[in-house]
Amino acid sequence: MKTGDSGEFGLISRIAAQVHSHQGVITGIGDDAAVTVLTPDMQLLTSTDMLMEDIHFRRRWHDPYRLGRKSLAVSISDLAAMGAIPRWALLSLAIPADLPPNFITECTHGFLAMAEEYSVTLIGGDTCASRSGLVISVTIMGEQRPELILRRSGARPGDDIWVSGTLGDAALGLKLLDFGFDSAQPRDSAGHTGRSLSGAEGAVSRLLDPTPRVTAGLALAASGLVTSMIDISDGILADFGHIAELSGVGGCLHLDDLPVSDCFRSIASAFNDFPHDLPLSGGEDYELCFTASPGDREKIIGLMKKCGNQATAVGIVSRQPEVTVVRADGSSYTPLSKGFNHLI
Ligand SMILES: [Mg+2]
- What value does the mean pLDDT take over residues 300-318? 97
Phi-psi group of 330: left, alpha or beta (phi > 0 → left; psi -120 to 50 → alpha; rest → beta):
left
Ligand 1 centroid – CA 79 distance (Å):
8
CA 287–ligand 1 middle distance (angstroms): 10
Residue type at 71 in one-letter notation: S
Q: If you measure from the C-alpha of residue 81 to the centroid of ligand 1, how many angstroms do you get, rounded to a whole number?
A: 7
pLDDT of residue 252: 98
pLDDT for the residue 1: 38
Separation of alpha carbons 68 and 56, rounded Å: 13
Q: Quick one: average pLDDT of 245-268?
A: 94
Measured over all CA atoms, what is the biggest interatomic distance in the chain, rounded to whole angstroms?
65
> How far away, in angstroms, is 269 Cα from ligand 1 center?
31
pLDDT for 192 equals 43
Domain 160-326 -> CATH class: alpha beta
- Centre of ligand 1 to C-alpha 233, Å, is 6
pLDDT of residue 276: 78
Distance 153 CA to ligand 1 centre (A): 14
**Average pLDDT of span 22-32:** 91
| Per-residue pLDDT tens digits for 138-155 | 999 999 999 999 999 999
Q: Which of 152, 157, 158, 174 shows the shortest CA–CA distance to 289?
A: 152
Q: What is the mean pLDDT of the chain?
A: 91
Whole-angstrom distance, CA of residue 14 vs CA of residue 12? 5
pLDDT at 285: 96
Backbone dihedral angles phi then psi of residue 138, each to the nearest 5 degrees:
-125, 130
Identify the residue with better confidence: 277 or 196. Answer: 277
Kindly indicate the confidence band of residue 184, based on its pLDDT and cuts at 50, 70 and 90: low
Tell me the CA–centroid distance for residue 119 and ligand 1, in Å: 20
Cβ 162 vs Cβ 290: under 8 Å:
yes
CA of 14 to the centre of ligand 1 (A): 31
Domain 7-148 has CATH 3.30.1330.10: yes
If you average pLDDT over residues 287-309, what whole number do you get? 97
Kindly state the average pLDDT of the residues 223-231.
98
Residue 31 confidence (pLDDT) above 60: yes
Question: What is the whole-number distance in angstroms between the Cα of residue 314 and the centre of ligand 1?
Answer: 19
CA of 77 to the centre of ligand 1 (A): 7
When pLDDT is cut at 50, 70 and 90, the band that residue 5 belongs to is very low
Q: What does the pLDDT look like over 57-113, one tens digit per residue?
A: 999 999 999 999 999 999 999 999 999 999 999 999 999 999 998 999 999 999 999
The rounded distance, in Å, linking the Cα atoms of 93 and 68 is: 11
Residue extents of the structural domains in the chain: 7-148, 160-326
Please tell me the distance between residue 43's alpha carbon and the centre of ligand 1 in angstroms: 19
Rounded to the nearest angstrom, the distance between the alpha carbon of 230 and the centre of ligand 1 is 6
Half-sphere exposure at residue 249, Cβ-oriented, CA atoms within 13 angstroms: 23
| Beta strands, E only, 176-277 | 226-231, 250-254
Most confident of 12-21, 99-108, 198-207, 266-275: 99-108
CA–centroid distance, 85 to ligand 1, in Å, is: 15
Q: How far apart are CA 236 and CA 289, in angstroms?
A: 7
Amino acid 342: pLDDT: 55
Instruction: Say yes or no to pLDDT of 292 above 70.
Output: yes
Confidence check: pLDDT of 194 > 50: no
Question: The pTM is what?
Answer: 0.91
User: Quick one: which of 25, 23, 238, 1 has its CA closest to 124?
Assistant: 25
Number of Cβ within 10 Å of residue 254's Cβ equals 18
